Amino acid sequence: MGAAMRAHDWANSPLGVPDSWPQPLKTLVGLILAANQPMFIGWGDDHILLYNDGYAPMLANRHPDALGRPFFDVWPEVRDELTPLFDAVVRGEPVHMADLVLDLDRPGRDRQAHFAFSYTPVRNETGAVAGLFCACIETTDSVVAERRSSAARDRLFEMTRDLFGVATFDGYLKTINPAWSTMLGRPHDELIARPFADIIHPDDLATTGDVVATLMCGEPVHQFHVRLLKADGTPVAFAWSAVPDTTPGSELFYTVGRDITEQRRIEEALRQSQKMEAVGQLTGGIAHDFNNLLTAVTGGLELLGARISRGEYDKLDRYIGMAQTGANRAAALTQRLLAFSRRQTLAPTPTDADRLIAGMEEIIDRTLGPEIEVKVAATAGLWPVLVDAPQLENALLNLCINARDAMPDGGLLTIETGNKRLDARAAADQDLPEGEYVSLCVTDTGTGMPPDIIERVFDPFFTTKPIGQGTGLGLSMIYGFVRQSGGQVRIYSEVGQGTTMCLYLPRHLGNVASSTQSSDERDPLRALPGETILVVEDEIAIRQLVVEILTDAGYRVLEAPTGPAGVRVMQSDERIDLLISDVGLPGGLNGRQVADAGRAVRPSLKVLFVTGYAANAAVGAGHLEEGMEILTKPFNIGELESRVHALIRS
The CATH number of whichever domain residue 216 belongs to comes to 3.30.450.20
Residues 113 and 206 in one domain: no
- Please name which of 385, 330, 329, 338 lies closest in space to residue 357, comparing C-alpha atoms: 385
Residues 165 and 292 in one domain: no
pLDDT at 469: 40
pLDDT at 285: 52
φ/ψ of residue 96, rounded to 5:
-130, 135
Pairing of strands 411-422, 372-377: parallel
Rounded Cα distance between 228 and 198, Å, is 9
Rounded Cα distance between 326 and 276, Å, is 26
Lowest-pLDDT range, 82-91, 161-170, 345-354?
Answer: 345-354
- Of 289, 319, 343, which residue sits at a domain end? 343
Pairing of strands 163-168, 372-377: unpaired
pLDDT band at 616 (very low <50, low <70, confident <90, very high): very low
Task: Give kind and range of the element (H or E) at residue 40.
Answer: strand 39-43
What CATH number does residue 548 fall under?
A: 3.40.50.2300
Q: What DSSP character marks residue 514? A: P
- Please name which of 231, 229, 228, 252 lies closest in space to residue 242, comparing C-alpha atoms: 252
pLDDT at 630: 85
DSSP β-bridge partners for residue 417: 440
Q: Say what the pTM is.
A: 0.39
- Of 109, 143, 177, which residue sits at a domain end? 143
Q: Is the pLDDT of residue 141 over 80?
A: yes
pLDDT at 98: 86
Task: Give kind and range of the element (H or E) at residue 482.
Answer: helix 474-484
Residues 192 and 304 in one domain: no
Residues 366 and 456 in one domain: yes
Contact 397, 340 (CB under 8 A): yes
pLDDT band at 296 (very low <50, low <70, confident <90, very high): low
Direct distance between the N- and C-terminal alpha carbons of the chain, in angstroms, rounded to an integer:
100
Amino acid at 226: V
Residues 211 and 324 in one domain: no
Separation in Å, CA 48 to CA 15, 143, 434:
8, 30, 69
Q: Residue 243 domain-assigned?
A: yes
DSSP β-bridge partners for residue 532: 556
* High-pLDDT (> 90) share of the chain, %: 42
Q: Residue 298 domain-assigned?
A: yes
Alpha carbon of residue 40 to chain centroid: 59
Tally of CA atoms within 13 A in the half-sphere of 341 that contains its CB:
16
Rounded Cα distance between 13 and 2, Å, is 17
Q: Is the pLDDT of residue 458 over 90?
A: no
Residue 426 belongs to what domain range? 344-515
Contact 165, 175 (CB under 8 A): yes
Residues 474 and 615 in one domain: no
Lowest-pLDDT range, 252-261, 345-354, 526-535?
Answer: 345-354
Alpha carbon of residue 217 to chain centroid: 23
Q: Residue 155 domain-assigned?
A: no
Q: Is the pLDDT of residue 637 over 90?
A: no
Residues 356 and 453 in one domain: yes
Rounded Cα distance between 334 and 578, Å, is 28
Nearest 10 degrees: Cα torsion 57, 58, 61, 67: -90
Could you tell me which residues come within 8 angstroms of residue 229 by beta carbon, excluding any fewer than 6 positions away? 184, 199, 200, 201, 235, 236
List the Cα angle 90/93/98 in 5-degree steps.
Answer: 115
Summarize pLDDT for 21-65 with one digit per residue, the tens.
999 899 999 999 988 899 999 999 999 999 999 999 999 999 999
Residues 224 and 238 in one domain: yes
Contact 571, 563 (CB under 8 A): no
Contact 417, 438 (CB under 8 A): yes
Contact 584, 590 (CB under 8 A): yes
Q: Is the pLDDT of residue 615 over 60?
A: no
Q: Residue 148 domain-assigned?
A: no
Lowest-pLDDT range, 81-90, 312-321, 416-425, 572-581?
Answer: 312-321
Pairing of strands 112-123, 129-138: antiparallel
Residues 349 and 476 in one domain: yes
Q: Residue 154 domain-assigned?
A: no
Task: Give kind and range of the element (H or E) at residue 41.
Answer: strand 39-43
Could you tell me which residues come within 8 angstroms of residue 167 by beta carbon, excluding any fewer than 6 positions away? 173, 174, 196, 252, 253, 254, 255
Give the full edge-to-edge strand order of the sheet including 578-582: 556-560, 532-536, 578-582, 607-611, 628-632
Residues 506 and 569 in one domain: no
Q: Residue 107 domain-assigned?
A: yes
| Mean pLDDT of the chain, nearest integer | 84
Q: Is the pLDDT of residue 579 over 90?
A: yes
pLDDT at 459: 58
Between 581 and 545, where is the model more confident? 581
pLDDT band at 335 (very low <50, low <70, confident <90, very high): low
Q: Residue 595 domain-assigned?
A: yes
Q: Residue 149 domain-assigned?
A: no
- Three-state SS for 199-256 is HECHHHHHHHHHHHHHHHCCCCEEEEEEEEECCCCCEEEEEEEEEECCCCCCCEEEEE
Q: Is the pLDDT of residue 150 over 80?
A: no
Residues 641 and 534 in one domain: yes
- Number of structural domains found in the chain: 5
Summarize pLDDT for 377-395 with one digit per residue, the tens.
999 999 999 988 877 887 8
Give the three-class secondary structure for 513: coil
Contact 370, 285 (CB under 8 A): no
Residues 507 and 374 in one domain: yes
Could you tell me which residues come within 8 angstroms of residue 554 by beta carbon, excluding any fewer than 6 positions away? 526, 527, 528, 531
pLDDT band at 442 (very low <50, low <70, confident <90, very high): very high
- Of 110, 143, 176, which residue sits at a domain end? 143
pLDDT at 129: 93
The neighbour count for residue 56, using CB atoms within 10 Å, is 18
Between 134 and 151, where is the model more confident? 134
What CATH number does residue 358 fall under?
A: 3.30.565.10
Separation in Å, CA 151 to CA 98, 146, 148, 156, 157:
21, 8, 5, 9, 10
Q: What is the largest CA-CA distance in the chain?
A: 146
Amino acid at 623: H
